[in-house]
Structures are given as C-alpha cells and as structure tokens.
Amino acid sequence: MARKIAFIGAGSLEFTRELVRDILTFPALAGSTIALMDIHAERLAFAKSAVEKIVAAGNYPAKVIATDNRVEALKGADAVLCTILSGGVNVWRHDIEIPQKYGIDICVGDTRGPAGIFRALRTIPVMLDILKDVEDHCPEAVFLNYTNPMAMLCRAMQQQSKVKVTGLCHSVQGTAKMLAQWIGAPFQEITYLCAGINHMAWYLEYQWKGRDAYPLIREALQRPEIYNEEIVRNEMFQHLGYYTTESSGHSSEYNPWFRKRPDLIEKYCSPGTGWNPGHHAYILQEYLKAESTWRTDTQKWLESEEPVDLRRGLEYAAYILNATLGDGELYKFNGNVRNFGLVDNLPQGCCVEVPVLASPRGFEPIYVGPLPANVAIMTHAAASCEELAVQGGIAGDRDLIYQAIYFDPLTAAVLSLAEIRKMVDEMFMINKDWLPQFKIG
C-alpha cells in the first residue's frame, strides 16, 4: 500500500533532503507520495527538484508533488513532518536583540527563556491551525514535529488535539555518538537510558558493552582537546555527574552559571564549543549567512555530478515511519510526549523527552522513574516555566508569560522583577502583529 507523507515547511531544504533520503531507503516506503508544502515559492521549487533528484538516484517508485496549499498536501496523508519557522529573521531577531539590551546574552534562543518563549507564542497558533487541518483531512496521520521550541509546541499540540503527535530532536543520538567517539567506542556497542525534557535530557545510564562508560568519559575530559570541545557541558558533567543532551551553546542559556557576567561568557562560552560557538547571537548570524547563500548552495548541489549519497542517517523520522506505516519493525527512540506517569519528579502532564516505542499501534512511552535529585531540580524548574508559558500562550494571558520569564534561571540571575517586566513588555510590543491571542496596546 503506497503511503502519502506530507512535509509542512518543506523549504527547510537540508532537513527535507535528509528526511526524504532516509524514508525512501525503507522498501515499504519507497513508493510513497512525497507531498511538499511551503509558502515560499522559490524554496518549494528547490525542494521539489532536490527530492526528485534523490528519487531518480535511488530509482525509487516514489511520486513527488509540491504545493503552497496546506490542505492539498495534507489530504489523505498517512504522516506529516513539520519543519516550519513562523516569521523570518527580521521577526525573531528581536528575541535575541531586545534581551541583549537588558544584559541577557543569548546564543541560540530557540528553546526556553525569553527568546524561546516568544518564539513559542508566535508559533503555537500556527501549529494549532495546522493540526485543525490534520484533524479535518488526515486525522489518523502520524505527526512528527521538528520545529522549535520543541517542548512547548508539543505540549500545546498534545493538550489541544487528539492527533498522534510527538516531537523529534537529534541531540540525544548525536550526543551519544559524540561521547562514543571520545572514549573510542563503536557507536553500535553503546546503549543508554536518556530522559528529561527537550534540550535538557540526561544520560541516566551510558554503557559500552553493558558496562558503565561514565568513568571513561571522565578520563577523556582530562584531554584538553576533548574538554575544550564542549566546555559548558563538560563543566556541568564534572559538577552534576550526568551528561546532558544539548550542545554547550544551547545549554549555557538554560542555567544561571555561565552567561550572567562578561568574564564568565569569555571563559566558558566564547571559545568554540562543539557544533556551535557560544558567542552572542550565534544562530542569528548563521541564519543571516544562510539567507545569502542558500540559493547558490542548493543550485550547486542540484547541478553536481557527484553521486547522491543515499545512505540512511541517524534522524529518527524514517525509522518511526517504517515502524508505524511500513514493515512494522519496532523502533525505540527518544520522543517528546506528555508526562503521565513517566518521570516521577517532573510536573504531571508537562512535555518530557523519554524513550518511546514506535509500532503499528502508534507511540508507547516507556516509564523512566525519577531523575537524580540534583538534575531534577533544574529540569523541574525549566519544565515549570514551560508549563506557564504554554498555558499563557494558549489563553492569551500576559501575566503567565511574565511569570514564566521571572523564573527563567539566566534572566533571574541578571535582572530584577521590574526589569524583567519592562523587557517582556518591549518584546510583546515588537511582536504584537504575530500574537493574535493577546491584547497588546
């Protein structure tokens, strides 16, 4: 049975290419209809050409359609992959630049804190609107979200809709692979148990051939080239005893320890750290650079005579679709689901990132138990702030947004309550056209 797989936000070109490449490697999915949807006509055209090149290279019996009509893409879909960005750089750059005026130094700003929360407020209405279309045109579809802020968006969608939604992030398997390289272990010999919330999950167990590999990681950190690759995360590991899933640039924003003073930023964040340096506005600079090069980069790839690399990657999506829609092979992944009896010491009903089993029955989250007490403190606080922000975003309640940002660890380390409120008011005003759920003066 041929499946239909819809990509909403298909103009995220690199993501779309990689996900389609992976999906078509599974024989049960090789004949799927790939429905590409984006509101950016030029990006959509490039996405269609790229996917057609992959289909031709693999000699797959897949069909490719492209449309700017969301309903057309969703109608009859068996799966939906969402990779949208609500608003361009000129909208979300204020998430970083306004806090900077108040002394809040942000590197990425797409997950939590003032920047992540305002990205969520802009995106929640859009995601809920997409889900309404899913409910109307493909209510049984599997919905895989790749859009950030992952936890807050999934939390809102899972509260407001009965669609089978989970959120996917590559930081869990990506970090696990990085740690394996550090200790010289083949990745296929590594097993782990990882749980928490998106971008703040923890390897509760990390084993090589069934034996605890944390002592080997501690030993590896004695080498300067390893320590310097992920300074923030390595400091956290040395002090907290558990390794966290998201890169140092991201992780430095989620606590009060590294970005509250210029000297700390210089010491811990300015040096290159893993895949993203921790310097101010890193992601904004990367997006501005990408805006000027994506056409030529994509055209170069399309015109290249080099064979298309069809090897399957590590992203979860294709494996999940094969388990739920394809040959039914069970697949365990770390997904974003609501916390109903999964992690004992995180808020009931919040969005957690835990092991999930994918099968033809859908998604079955796996009970983890409590997080270790020390990492539970910061994880619970972050999840609680997300809960306030999501409820405020759905209800259009400004007070809940103030409160969510009052308790953000980095913001609270730098600003007083009155200063935070003033900053948030400024962020509301600059975003007023994107926040229909709020009454803004």
Rounded CA separation 126/291 (Å): 23
Residue 137 marked in a binding site: no
Buried-state track 233-271, b at ≥16 Cβ within 10 A, e below 16? bbbbbeebebbbbbbbbbbbbbbebbbbeeeebeebbee
Rounded CA separation 16/48 (Å): 10
Rounded CA separation 102/439 (Å): 24
Question: Which one of 170, 239, 250, 380 is the catalytic residue?
Answer: 170
User: Amino acid identity of 257?
Assistant: W
The answer to whether residue 170 is catalytic is yes
Residue 148 marked in a binding site: yes
Residue 199 marked in a binding site: yes
In terms of C-beta density within 10 A (0-12 exposed, 13-18 middle, 19 or more buried), how is residue 124 classed?
Answer: buried
With beta carbons less than 8 A apart as the criterion, state whether 206 and 217 touch.
yes
Cα dihedral 277, 280, 283, 285 in deg (nearest 10)? -100
Give the list of residues 6+ apart from residue 312 with CB closer than 8 angstroms, or none.
Answer: 21, 22, 25, 318
Residue ranges at the known binding site for substrate: 148
Catalytic residues: 170
Which segments are annotated as binding site? 148, 169, 199
Residues tagged in the binding site annotation for Mn(2+)? 169, 199
